[in-house]
Amino acid sequence: MIKTVQRRFALSRKGAQDFCKGVMMTTLLNMALMLPAVFVFAFLEDYARPVFLSTASALHGAIYYIVAALIFMLVMYAISVFQYRCTYTRIYNESATRRISLAEKLRALPLAYFGEKNLSDLTATIMDDCTDLEHTFSHAVPQLFASLASVAIIAIGLFFYNWELTLALFWVVPPAIAVILVAKKKTRRDNRLYYQSKRDVSEYIQEGLECIREIKACNREADYLVRLNEKIDFNERVQIQGELFIGVLVNGAQGILKLGLASVIIAGATLLAQGSIGWFVYLVFILIASRVYAPIEEVLNNLMALFFLDVRIQRVKEMEALPVQQGSAAFEASGFDIEFQHVDFEYETGKPVLKNVSFTARQGEITALVGRSGSGKSTAARLAARFWDVQSGRILLGGQDISTIDPETLLKYYSVVFQDVVLFNTSIMDNIRIGRRDATDEEVLAAARLACCDDFVREMPQGYQTVIGENGGTLSGGECQRLSIARALLKDAPVVLLDEATASLDVENETRIQAGISELIRCKTVLVIAHRMRTVANADQIVVLDDGSVAESGTPQELLAARGIFAGMAVRQEIEKSAFDGRKS
């Protein structure tokens, strides 16, 4: 049963165990809440006896019922405390465990996954979906099963007390639940539509915030707001229609339950007229009929909540089912040569990006990947760091297949500088120190000076303690790039990947930073991606990629002499530079 609960509700094993305990304690609480009715029943039964009317008996009876009432209150209190701990407290702990589990799952996913997935979608799963699961599991799902169990227990007990009135009392329950279950498929479909429309609104808002400069630069604010309003209006319509449908269903089902009280009154009056029951039994069943439908109404409401929850549960299951990258955490390198052996790779089936790519980037040398846009340069560099796993072939680091190395262990040996720099909303000092968390302030400052950061940082109000905003919002593109280079310098890893590392810099700063990069790449395995020929002029080896394949490779001098693709690129850049210089003069 524990495994079934785990699969159905995407819980951990302990969470499933706590859930079952919560159902049991909630059932006990529901039964305990019937104690006042039992108390009234016993009191009325005694009060109806003539002996109870004497003074002595009345005093004795009063003490007895006061003591009984206190005991009932203590029992109800104790059960309530245990029920709270088994549902709310433990469900909140399970929610924390779920969030941590999802975060750990994200750590083990290929880094490329985050480039393919909308970040608002991931955030919504970890935050919004987990919050909905937490709220529903603490307030609805245990109560649903507990209400079903307690109503069943009460129905069985009453059936043995008087089966005729029990049938009159509970015949309305199956049709009321059937009304909800019949519309289950449509309700789930509406919930999925609402969920998706809500996600579309969130993603469109995030897209607008991320692209606000482009929107303003192209005078598309009005168009953006029109589309945003359309998405919000659609989301509102879907929500209103769904809630209206659910409201009609639940109220209709509750209306059917109200017929039960009328059935008890009519059936009880008939049995009373026939002499089959007494007035006391009749009144007791009317009293029960006024209270027993409350937990059943809760069942109806919680069933709808469970249908609403199914979309969230499925989302969590999908994320938990994602394949992760695995490998050994023990890696002892005998060297840091990177070797591509007949590598094939594709993002989408049938659309190859790399085809039979083979080359070796040797330690102590600079290997440059060049080629036209879309030729697979950046993909090759990312594959070297195992951001993805190849479809066929192998990539070796120091003679060991990187697919057998744990990604976190592997990346300890890599310093990476990409064109798209990611910075955090914290101080410049902390942003650089991400390269090596145990670095001293002096080491951070030394890396910053090598990356030519010191000149602009010293001009800031708090210097290296200046908070730079989300993703370096207060800095220029070139300044962000220099911080990224400083971070890589501080890490001082044996393998260096530079993907257009100086693309955001002007010629003067690029020349100055080359000294820092020269320090970074000394005696290391270096893969450089660049479009500027001056950036790769000092490379020991150039690998030219064309349409996903290695078209040519060799030293810059060899490739220029071969008059192939590389030579053509160099000539075109020289012509463009000469034309620009001519216009400038």
| DSSP secondary structure string for all residues of 205-247 | HHHHHHTHHHHHHTT-HHHHHHHHHHHHHHHHHHHHHHHHHHH
Domains of the chain: 2-320 (1.20.1560.10), 334-413+525-585 (3.40.50.300)
Is residue 112 within 8 A of residue 388, CB to CB? The reply is yes
Residues 230-239: pLDDT tens digits?
999 999 999 8
Residues 484-506: pLDDT tens digits?
888 888 988 899 888 876 665 66
Contacts (Cβ under 8 Å, ≥6 apart) of 143: 26, 298, 302
d(CA 381, CA 555): 19
Residue 365 burial (C-beta neighbours within 10 Å; 0-12, 13-18, 19+): middle
Only one residue has tokens 């009159």, namely 168
Among the listed residues 197, 176, 489, 203, the one whose alpha carbon sits nearest the alpha carbon of residue 304: 176
- Centre a 10 Å sphere on the Cβ of residue 323 and count the other Cβ atoms it contains: 10
d(CA 291, CA 362): 80
pLDDT at residue 580 in the model: 45
CA 315 and chain centroid, separation: 9
Is residue 362 within 8 A of residue 370, CB to CB? The reply is no
Q: Is 219 left (phi over 0), alpha (psi -120 to 50) or beta?
A: left
d(CA 495, CA 415): 6
| Tens of each residue's pLDDT in the chain, 585 residues | 777 876 777 777 777 777 788 788 888 887 777 777 666 666 666 665 554 445 555 555 667 777 877 887 888 888 888 878 777 777 778 778 888 888 888 777 777 677 666 666 677 777 777 777 777 777 777 777 887 888 888 888 888 888 899 899 889 888 988 888 888 888 888 888 888 888 888 888 888 887 888 888 888 889 999 999 999 999 999 989 888 888 888 888 888 888 888 898 899 898 888 888 888 788 878 878 877 787 788 777 777 777 777 777 887 777 777 777 888 888 877 889 999 999 999 887 778 889 999 999 999 888 989 888 888 888 898 899 888 888 899 999 988 999 899 888 888 899 888 877 888 888 999 999 998 888 999 999 998 888 888 888 888 888 889 888 777 777 887 788 888 888 888 988 899 888 876 665 666 666 666 666 676 677 889 898 877 777 777 888 999 998 889 999 888 888 888 888 888 888 876 765 555 455 554
CA-atom Rg of the chain in angstroms: 36
Helix (H/G/I), strand (E/B), else coil: 528: strand
CB burial readout 278-287, b (16+ within 10 A) else e: eeebbebbee
Strand partners, 495: 414, 525
Strand partners, 367: 527, 541
| Helix, strand, coil percentages, rounded to 5, for the chain | 65, 10, 20
d(CA 199, CA 24): 36
Contacts (Cβ under 8 Å, ≥6 apart) of 505: 478, 481, 482, 513
CA 454 and chain centroid, separation: 38
Is residue 136 within 8 A of residue 305, CB to CB? The reply is yes
Helix (H/G/I), strand (E/B), else coil: 494: coil
Read off the tokens for 177. 């639940």
Strand partners, 359: 340
- Centre a 10 Å sphere on the Cβ of residue 87 and count the other Cβ atoms it contains: 25
Read off the tokens for 234. 């659609």
Is residue 302 within 8 A of residue 135, CB to CB? The reply is no
Is residue 235 within 8 A of residue 184, CB to CB? The reply is no
